Amino acid sequence: MTDIVAELQEAIGEEKVLSSPVDLIAYSFDGTFEQHAPEAVVLPETDEDVAAVIKVASRLEVPVVARGMSSGLAGGSIPFSGGVVVSLTRMNRILEIDEENMTVSVEAGVVTADLQAEVEKLGLFFPPDPSSNRQSTIGGNIACDAGGPRCLKYGVTGDYVLGLAVVLHDGRLLETGGKSIKNVVGYDLTSLFVGSEGTLGIITRALLRLVARPQFVRTALAYFPSLDDSSRTASAILSAGIVPATLELMDETAMTCIEEAMHLGLPLDVEAMLIIETDGSDEEAVVREIGEVARICRETGAREVKVARDEAERDTLWKARRSVSPSLARQAPNKLGEDITVPRSAIPEAIRRIRAISESYGLPMVIFGHAGDGNLHPNVLFDRRDPGQWEKVEQIVGEVFNVALELGGTLSGEHGVGTFKLPYVEQALGATSIDIQWRVKRALDPQNILNPGKVLPDT
């Protein structure tokens, strides 16, 4: 243990290595309730620092766990096997905004919201919007292929990655992609690292695509007595040729939970609510589209539809959605937020089955998500200190994943596998896919030191 700290200090300088018990505990968590302390934490400032750290780890054969802001919800950045945590937060510079080519080049540790604010000053836009954009880094977003409400219209993080700089297991720097939009020379290594959760290399820099910032946004909220109608509405809106920027769904359990905590006046006799936004650079078109959305909602069974007239009203309409997480925290000491996806048409069936699971185990579950792309977040509320409850949570999660797979969906739309979903990955992907993925992993990490025990189940 002392050896590794001394070797790291020698390699990159004492001031970039943390090893006190307090520091190690501070770097032992992510956004879940699990923890495991590393043996050392490093705070690199350059590609060369990251390479030097990986070379030490490779020589000593200890794990290396990349870490952004540890907001992950799958245990991905928890160093369960010990070793070195590589925190990228000092590598947080925006290196270049190229207005003509609409690209931005950043270091991996830049906070997503900081990047968004900078490009928006120039009328540009980086659309992927995880709700954690103030608590997560671009490197972490790329490593998890993060999504968010706007992804229905604009796509997920990976859709904006044009190139990467990645430090490999032997300390070499791999640079992929570039500013050309079309590029089909060789395998698409950029995409290989998107969603790889730190298991194939450490991303140090990224070249990202930008779009023009939409000038106008309109927001509507609709209450539905019937869950099926709310789901049909999402499809009807898309079939009418409108691609909303967001199409968020909350079921009655989520609404009840928010109402108990926030007293916003949400109706408690409906089965679902939708928040829908249209955006663009032509105000008339945006207004026309939200009017059309409101009409479709009424036609497909909404009891009440509200359209915000200004920014203050828009803020009020969003308050319920933004209050979900704090409201859940008041209900139980712990929550496990899952992240399944199903085909859009299967949302009502998925919600009904998940509610039945919740009832059969006697633990409350709250469901909300992105109705437009079928990405649901069922949250189990429980007390981790009660072993009986934890056992039930594990069974519930297995059953929820079964529901997703049976309905033609999968285990994760945006949070990734980490360690939490490992037992279910083979069922989702099949043995051949797991075999091929292990071959890729072994080619890029022959010593299995890069975030071991994540993403791929043991074979």
Ligand X SMILES: Cc1cc2nc3c(=O)[nH]c(=O)nc-3n(C[C@H](O)[C@H](O)[C@H](O)COP(=O)(O)OP(=O)(O)OC[C@H]3O[C@@H](n4cnc5c(N)ncnc54)[C@H](O)[C@@H]3O)c2cc1C
CB nearer ligand X, residue 48 or residue 313:
48
Q: Is 144 in the site for ligand X (CB under 6 A)?
A: yes
Q: Is 66 in the site for ligand X (CB under 6 A)?
A: yes
**Least spacing, CB of residue 44 vs ligand X, in Å:** 10
CB nearer ligand X, residue 300 or residue 419:
419
Q: Is 374 in the site for ligand X (CB under 6 A)?
A: no
Q: What part of residues 17-46 is at the interface with ligand X (CB under 6 A)? A: 30-31
- Binding test (CB under 6 A) with ligand X, winner from 97, 102, 146, 254: 146
- Binding test (CB under 6 A) with ligand X, winner from 38, 79, 83, 140: 140
**Least spacing, CB of residue 291 vs ligand X, in Å:** 28
Instruction: Identify each DSSP E strand in 99-191 by its residue range.
Output: 103-107, 124-125, 161-167, 173-177
Strand order of the β-sheet with 40-42 is: 17-18, 40-42, 84-87, 64-67
Spatial neighbors of 198 by CB under 8 A, at least 6 apart, are 65, 66, 76, 77, 143, 450, 451, 454
Q: In 397-414, which positions are buried (b, 16+ CB within 10 angstroms) versus exposed (e)?
A: beebbebbbebebbbbbb
x/- binding map, residues 282-321, to ligand X, per CB under 6 A? ----------------------------------------
Q: Is 77 in the site for ligand X (CB under 6 A)?
A: yes
CB nearer ligand X, residue 24 or residue 88:
88
Q: Is 197 in the site for ligand X (CB under 6 A)?
A: yes
**Least spacing, CB of residue 54 vs ligand X, in Å:** 11
366-369: list long-range contacts, CB under 8 Å, 24+ apart: 366/251, 366/253, 366/254, 366/257, 366/324, 366/328, 366/331, 367/250, 367/251, 367/253, 367/254, 368/248, 368/249, 368/250, 368/251, 368/254, 368/321, 368/324, 369/248, 369/249
Structure tokens at 84: 């070195």
x/- binding map, residues 117-136, to ligand X, per CB under 6 A? -------------xxx---x
Looking up tokens 């105000």, which residue turns up? Answer: 283
Of 49, 74, 73, nearest to 64 by C-alpha is 49
CB nearer ligand X, residue 30 or residue 289:
30
Chain positions contacting ligand X, by CB under 6 A? 30-31, 65-73, 76-77, 88, 108, 130-132, 136-137, 139-141, 143-144, 146-148, 197-198, 202-203, 325, 414-415, 451, 454
